[in-house]
Chains A and B, each alone.
Chain A
Amino acid sequence: MNIVSKAGGAFRLKRPAWNKRTRLNFWIGMLFIAPWTIGFLAFTVYPMGASLVYSFSEYHMRAPLQWIGLANYANLFQDKLFYTALVNTTYMVVVGVPLTLLLSFMCAIVLNIKVPGQSIYRVIYYLPSIVPTIASTMLWLWILNPNSGLMNMFLGAFGIEGPNWLKDPLWAKPSLILLSLWGMGGTIIIYLSGLQDVPVSLIEAAELDGANWWQRLLNITVPMVSPITLFNLITGVIGMFQYFAQAYVFGNSTAGAIGSPLNSTLFYSVYLYQTGFQFLKMGYASAMAWILFFVILGCTILLLKVSNRFTYYSG
């Protein structure tokens, strides 16, 4: 992306005078992007501003806002549940996201093998990802049911006594990760398209040099798809920090309360929702939202910085 003024070489202090054409284009452009501008002001700028104000206030319905300064933030940093939620979310980000990436990369490699009927296989791998979230969550709650569920019957066939997936705090998060793995079809497709873009000549050259399959994978394929890995990683991390629907349904359906068992599924967004909409502490929840914003921002910048060293761009 090159910015116009930079491309011109020297910076000018005075704004270049726009000719008639430029001025016209400007207004036409503004007109065309008006839907975005209005929406941005109404549904992003205003609420963000309001959210910032709320985060410094105590909010009560049908009553004026009370400014309480930094109290919400101060309380937050002493709130044990806040840390629980942060740790739970971090677990999902650190374990769930990389696992999804690794397994979808493996699936993509398998789906890239040249065999007849491959397109049908690709559909099979992809379809679960478009099952509505709530439906797939319910389905997995049923599969992981310790009593009449499929999973423990399957494990039982190998002589393994399956855990109590839904009610054991140790297994609740792995259950949710399993559920998200079932829906990783989108990531697989993105990886697959990346694999198809790896130049065949490169692989053939390596083959001639005597590199085996594993070496070719490690030294050619993995670096070639590294930009895709980065993309998937960033979107995965951002998405996981906002993980909500599955956890909400999971907690509500297994024990009738958000976050159960033993707060092991109390993720950040879930706790935020609970604080705002069940405990009616809108100000406190707004403060949580802002912290989330900065955490996501920080993580993204960090990932981009670190990835510079590991990502290969052919362009």
Chain B
Amino acid sequence: MQLKRVCSLLSLLLIVALLAACAPAGTPTPAAGDGAAAGGAKPEKLRVWIQWGDNPAQLQGLFDKYTAKSGIPVEVNAPVEPDKILAALSGSEPPDIIVLSGGENVKSLAKENVLLQLNDIINSSGINLDDFYPAPMISCRQGDKIWCLPWGTDVYALFWNKDLFEEAGLDPETPPKTMEELVQFADKLTKVDENGNLTQIGFIPDFSWSHTDLYAALFGGFWFNADGTQVTLDSQPMIDALKWQQQFYTKYGADEVLKFTSAMGDYMSPDQGFYAGKIAMMVDGEWQVGPNFISKFKPELSYGVAPFPPPASHPERANTGVVQGTVVVIPAGVKSKEESGKLLAWMQSADILAEEMVANSNLPTTKAAAADPRFKQIKGFDVFINLMASPNTTGMVTTPITNELGEALGQIEEQVLHAGAEPEPLLKEAQAKFQPMLEAALK
């Protein structure tokens, strides 16, 4: 009995495994070392990995155009978990191009010798660096060395719900003009029911994620100095930025606010706090005005969008933004630098870049692409294009320790905003830890 059963189980497994192995799933078998064409010949395919990627079909369609032009098939893998990118970069057969969601890891990857320095490729493939907007280039530069090129970018602005403004007796067409006014507006837009529970909230500073970089910029600073040689975590702008955010929590009780936000739905769903009318103002990016967000999940929402207001004491800081977004890198271990370089140059050509950015409603990073008329057709997009081009807008300064510092700052934000801690001692402590770390890493 037992024997029979076991034998049948085993043979069943064998048959299924064999069947599965022969199944025409249309995927290449993953034998290591296959397909490495001899140097000089055309590669049989190029592999592009894109960390960000809500719409892989559209991305594949875009790169199919390169195949049509060059005859080389391009295989797009999107989205990719960050851990996998690291493993692939260090592996023996890295993809030919990797598109990272942000530039924060670039310097530490460069330090690990897994990235190709792009200066030569840029020179030889005719990419015009002068055409790039300066702000998104900041995270790619390290002195004269260029480790990545931006491929579209993001900038954040203030969204407000016009219906809720009207209900609260505010002019639905006028957003707050200063950060102080925003606090007053938020107060008017917050509702508490008879049991003391929040039912609507005016503004949550770290919704849907942290925006400390933007607030710090509005207060005149950042957590690194401009050339990335100093940690400035305990600078006044950082302290101000955290304190300003903290008040939104302390006023109604951090626990109450957290309870309220935890009951809201996913970011990409009709129940997202702002879409659902539970939050009256939010900070979010340019993709919101595109086809995949508000108009997909909550087409009935009546909203406005404007640059985030400056502090009253610094009206000259109006139109401030912090640019951060997608960058392209080439792994150090690619088979053919030349082929990767060609593909990179193609990706940066004005019409391709514009097409990709229009499709997902992201900001184009070259002036040539930004001139594309299609961007004018997206309602509200001009707010973001103007913001990126604004002289007050900066990029994220990155260093080899951006990652660790980011983790630590995230902790501090949680402690200050959600647990009511004083920002100054925490920032000082982190400053003392990270300044020597940065010095060591830059050696």
A302 to chain B, nearest CB (A): 33
Quick check: is A226 within 8 A (CB to CB) of the other chain? no
Chain B positions within 8 Å of A164 at CB level: 258-259, 262
B50 to chain A, nearest CB (A): 17
Chain A positions within 8 Å of B15 at CB level: none
Quick check: is A2 within 8 A (CB to CB) of the other chain? no
Quick check: is A23 within 8 A (CB to CB) of the other chain? no
B199 to chain A, nearest CB (A): 16
> Is B83 within 8 A of A262, CB to CB?
no
Quick check: is B411 within 8 A (CB to CB) of the other chain? yes
> Is A263 within 8 A of B411, CB to CB?
yes
B222 to chain A, nearest CB (A): 21
> Is B262 within 8 A of A167, CB to CB?
yes
* The residue from A62, A63, A280 contacting B108, defined by CB atoms under 8 A apart: A280
Considering the chains assembled together, what is the distance between the CA atoms of A62 and B271 in angstroms? 47
A309 to chain B, nearest CB (A): 42
Per-residue CB contact flags for chain A residues 257-295 toward chain B (1 = under 8 Å, else 0) read 100011100000000000001111000000000000000
Per-residue CB contact flags for chain A residues 150-182 toward chain B (1 = under 8 Å, else 0) read 000000000000001001100000000000000
Quick check: is B114 within 8 A (CB to CB) of the other chain? yes
Which residue of the partner chain A has the closest CB to B414? Answer: A262
Interface size on A, residues (CB 8 A): 17
Known: A62-B332, A164-B258, A262-B411. A280 touches B87 (CB 8 A): no
Quick check: is B36 within 8 A (CB to CB) of the other chain? no
> Is B112 within 8 A of A60, CB to CB?
yes
> Is A278 within 8 A of B403, CB to CB?
yes
Which residue of the partner chain B has the closest CB to A78? Answer: B433
Considering the chains assembled together, what is the distance between the CA atoms of A168 and B112 in angstroms? 36
Which residue of the partner chain A has the closest CB to B259? Answer: A164
Query: Which one of B114, B259, B262, B271 has the highest number of Cβ atoms from chain A below 10 Å of its Cβ?
Result: B262
B125 to chain A, nearest CB (A): 24
> Is A277 within 8 A of B265, CB to CB?
no
> Is A277 within 8 A of B87, CB to CB?
yes
Quick check: is B376 within 8 A (CB to CB) of the other chain? no
Per-residue CB contact flags for chain B residues 71-114 toward chain A (1 = under 8 Å, else 0) read 00000000000110011001000000000000000001001111
Known: A146-B263, A278-B86. A60 touches B403 (CB 8 A): no
Chain A positions within 8 Å of B83 at CB level: 277-278
Chain A positions within 8 Å of B86 at CB level: 277-278, 280
Which residue of the partner chain A has the closest CB to B266? Answer: A147
Known: A278-B86, A280-B86. A146 touches B262 (CB 8 A): yes
On B, residues with C-beta under 8 Å from A are 82-83, 86-87, 90, 108, 111-114, 258-259, 262-265, 271, 332, 403-404, 407, 410-411, 414-415, 418
Q: Can you identify 6 A-B contacts, CB atoms within 8 angstroms? A: A146-B263, A147-B263, A257-B407, A261-B414, A263-B411, A278-B82
